[in-house]
Structure formats: C-alpha cells, structure tokens
C-alpha cells in the first residue's frame, strides 16, 4: 500500500513540476529532469527512508510496477526509434553528424579508459556513446518552441537522427556480439513486417502495434530490444510503411509526460544512494563527467556546422552548436537501459544524468529559448 502511495505521489510531483515549468517557459522534460535530479533524492533522504522505512530496492520490487515500467520503456524507446523511418540522408546533415558524433565519442572512450575505474569494454563503449548522443524529440520541441525556420529545423533533426541511430546501432551490435545466440529472437521479431507483408497484411496500424508489443516483450524478458526495434523500423522503412502511433499525438504526449517519463526517471533515481554515489567519484572524475561531454560535443557540432555551412542567412553557428548538444529523453532511456543491465554504476548514472540536465538547460541559460 505504501509503495503504491509513493508512486502516486511521485507522479503528482512530476505533474506539479511540469505545470510550474510551463509557467516559467520550460518544456516538460527540463522540469522533469530538475525534479528527478534534485527533488527525488531529497525526498528519499529526508522522508521516504527515515519515516516510511522504505528503500529504493523495495520501491521498485513489485511485479506490477516492473510490468508498467516495461510498457513505459517500450513506449519511449519506440517513439525515439520511430524517427529512424523519417531519416533522409543528405550531404549537409552527414557533414554535421560525422564530427558531432566522432569527437565526443572519442572523448568519452578516453575518459572511460583513463579517468574512470576499470570496467568491461562494453561499459566503456557505452560511456563514449553517452558523450555523443543527441535527443531527437527534445531537440525538435526546442526548435518548435523558438519558431526555428523549417528547413534549418529539418537539417538539425536529420543530423540528430543520424547520430542517435549510430549510437543505438553500435551499442546493440556490440552487446549482441557477446551472446550471438541472443540475437536470433530479436532478429526474428524484427522481420515481422516482412511476414505480415507476405501474408498480404499491409495496414500500417497493424505493423505499428506489432512494433510496440514486441518492444514490451523484449524489455520484459530482457531480450535485445535495440536490435529488435532498429531492425523492425528499418524493415518498415524499406517497405515504405509509416509508423502509426497507437494513440493520437495529443494523447501520446500526455501519456509520455504524465506517466512514462516520470516512471522511468523515478525508477532509476530511487535505486541510487546519491550521497554514497557521489562519494565514490573523485572531484576530478565528477568534473570530467560534467564538463567533457558538453565541451567535446560543442566542439564536434561547431566543426560539423562549419563544414556544412549555414542553413539560412543569419544562422548562428554557436546557437546551433548548443541546440545539437541537447540530451534529454534519448539519454534517459540509454542510461536506464545501462543501469538495469548493470553496465554502469549508480554513481556514473547520476553524474551523467546531471550532465544531461545541464546540457538540456544550456539553450535556456544561454538565452537561446527566446523566439526569433
């Protein structure tokens, strides 16, 4: 009973934080990250643990909650991967994406190998990818919020899709290479659109429902959801089938902001003892994890945007470099995936979540959230 009460209270807090943030001109994910990074740890330390006598492990133990988490995770991962269908390769986006991915990725690998405690090579690879990732949905929301020109918006979003597809694909292939037998079921599931098409079933909604249902099963049974999801949407793209969301855009947005994102953020944060996590990282390591991902990503963006040229007359190279540094939802999903598979430590999870918050806040702090 107390566990269910806690989760109802957490959802209510996220709803209140989102409403307050909207009044202050913040998009929902920024308000949610602020609450998750600062509000939830304080709530756990000063109220839940001493007064309710509940630990983080107990709060995430119910079976019904894990099933709900699988649904929320599949919804958000599916929403992010669905952008792959909209990928249209063009030279300008590729010119931006190459340094925007490779420079922070190399910096992340170097940081993992030389500054962090010894860890498996897959964990080091994941850190490099976390340095490089860009949040597709949050970037698009920011660009729409500041009324950015449509052609420039399309170029930046296509760049983000290229970067994220590279990050997700590299990690999925690297993870699958450790257990080749575990690739069979996800790859078979990814071919479902081809099977449905062969049976003469061409309704986009049927293909899309299969996509989300398989992602839920993959998450629940700890299969390689990335291989399944990426392969599925690539098959749909090859068949020229659109990915239809199971609900209207308005209801999907409400479901994500009111339930899925708060659930996933809370699920990760409550399992972490923030005080001991920060104590396990030295000041040098913490500073590196906060500064180097942002700095290396900005450098890669700056070089790529210079190589590609201005997207429109008067375009600010600095402004677009900061916008492409946004992390947000894509990084949250990746961080939770790594934490659940114990590929990163709680300390690394919290430090990189804090970095993601700073990177996502940077456009507002730099005054780039104002309308043109």
Q: Rounded CA gap, 160 and 87, in Å?
A: 10
The DSSP annotation for 141-189 comes to HHHHHTT--HHHHHHHHHHHHHHHHHHHHHHHHHHHHH-GGGGHHHHHH
| β strands within the chain, DSSP E | none
204 falls in which pLDDT band (50, 70, 90)?
A: confident
Which of the four pLDDT bands, split at 50, 70 and 90, describes residue 372?
A: very low
Give the residue from 117, 87, 350, 32 showing the smallest Cα distance to 233.
87
Judge whether 163 and 84 are in contact, CB under 8 Å: no
The answer to whether residues 359 and 325 touch, using CB atoms and an 8 Å cutoff, is yes
Q: How far apart are CA 54 and CA 57, in angstroms?
A: 8
At 208, list the tokens.
Answer: 């899309």
Closest to 129 measured CA to CA, from 172, 180, 74, 87: 172
Is the Cα dihedral 252, 30, 27, 137 positive or negative? negative
For 92-118, what is each residue's pLDDT tens digit?
Answer: 899 999 999 999 999 999 999 998 888
* Domain extent listing, the chain: 2-365
Backbone angles phi, psi at 270, to 5 degrees: -65, -15
Neighbouring C-alpha atoms within 13 Å toward the C-beta of 216: 13
- Choose among 241, 182, 166, 175: nearest CA to 211: 241
Query: Cα separations (Å) of 178 from 105, 181, 345?
Result: 21, 9, 20
**pTM (predicted TM-score):** 0.86
Which DSSP string corresponds to 93-147? HHHHHHHHHHHHHHHHHHHHHHTSPP--HHHHHHHHHHHH---HHHHHHHHHHTT
Label residue 147 by pLDDT band (50, 70, 90). Answer: confident
At residue 224 the predicted structure's pLDDT band, cuts being 50, 70 and 90, is confident
CA distances from 336 to 76, 79, 288 (A): 12, 16, 21
**Residue pLDDT, tens place only, 1-24:** 789 999 999 999 999 999 998 888
Q: What architecture is the 2-365 domain classified under in CATH?
A: Up-down Bundle (1.20)
* Cα 263 from Cα 265, distance rounded (Å): 6
What does residue 325 show for φ and ψ, rounded to 5 degrees?
Answer: -90, -5
The neighbour count for residue 173, using CB atoms within 10 Å, is 14
Nearest to 159 by CA among 81, 91, 93: 93
Q: How much is the pLDDT for 110?
A: 95
Q: Mind listing the pLDDT tens digit for each residue in 14-69?
A: 999 999 988 888 888 888 988 998 899 989 988 898 888 888 889 998 989 988 98
Closest of 28, 6, 25 to residue 17, by C-alpha: 28
């Amino acid at each position: 009973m107390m566990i269910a009460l806690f989760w109802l209270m957490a959802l209510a807090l996220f709803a209140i934080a989102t409403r307050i943030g909207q009044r202050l001109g913040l998009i929902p994910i920024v308000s949610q990250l602020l609450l998750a990074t600062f509000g939830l740890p304080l709530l756990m330390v000063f109220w839940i643990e001493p007064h309710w006598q509940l630990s983080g492990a107990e709060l995430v133990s119910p079976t019904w909650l894990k099933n709900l988490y699988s649904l929320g995770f599949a919804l958000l991962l599916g929403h992010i991967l669905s952008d792959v269908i909209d990928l249209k390769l063009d030279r300008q986006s590729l010119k931006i994406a190459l340094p925007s991915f490779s420079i922070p990725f190399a910096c992340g690998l170097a940081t993992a190998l030389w500054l962090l405690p010894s860890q498996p090579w897959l964990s080091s690879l994941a850190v490099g990818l976390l340095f490089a990732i860009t949040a597709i949905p949050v970037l698009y929301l920011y660009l729409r919020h500041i009324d950015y020109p449509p052609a420039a918006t399309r170029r930046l979003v296509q760049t983000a899709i290229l970067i994220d597809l590279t990050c997700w694909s590299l990690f999925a292939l690297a993870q699958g290479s450790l257990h080749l037998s575990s690739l069979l079921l996800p790859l078979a599931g990814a071919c479902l659109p081809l099977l449905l098409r062969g049976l003469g079933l061409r309704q986009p909604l049927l293909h899309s429902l299969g996509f989300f249902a398989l992602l839920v099963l993959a998450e629940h049974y700890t299969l390689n959801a990335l291989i399944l999801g990426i392969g599925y949407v690539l098959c749909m793209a090859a068949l020229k089938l659109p990915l239809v969301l199971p609900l209207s855009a308005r209801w999907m947005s409400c479901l994500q902001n009111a339930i899925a994102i708060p659930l996933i953020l809370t699920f990760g944060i409550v399992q972490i003892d923030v005080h001991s996590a920060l104590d396990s990282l030295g000041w040098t390591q913490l500073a590196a994890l906060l500064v180097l991902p942002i700095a290396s990503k900005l450098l890669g963006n700056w070089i790529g945007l210079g190589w590609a040229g201005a997207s429109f007359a008067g375009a600010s190279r600095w402004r677009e470099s900061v916008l492409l540094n946004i992390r947000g939802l894509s990084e949250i999903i990746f961080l939770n995936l790594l934490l659940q598979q114990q590929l990163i430590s709680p300390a690394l999870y919290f430090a990189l979540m804090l970095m993601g918050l700073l990177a996502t806040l940077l456009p507002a702090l730099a005054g780039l959230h104002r309308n043109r």
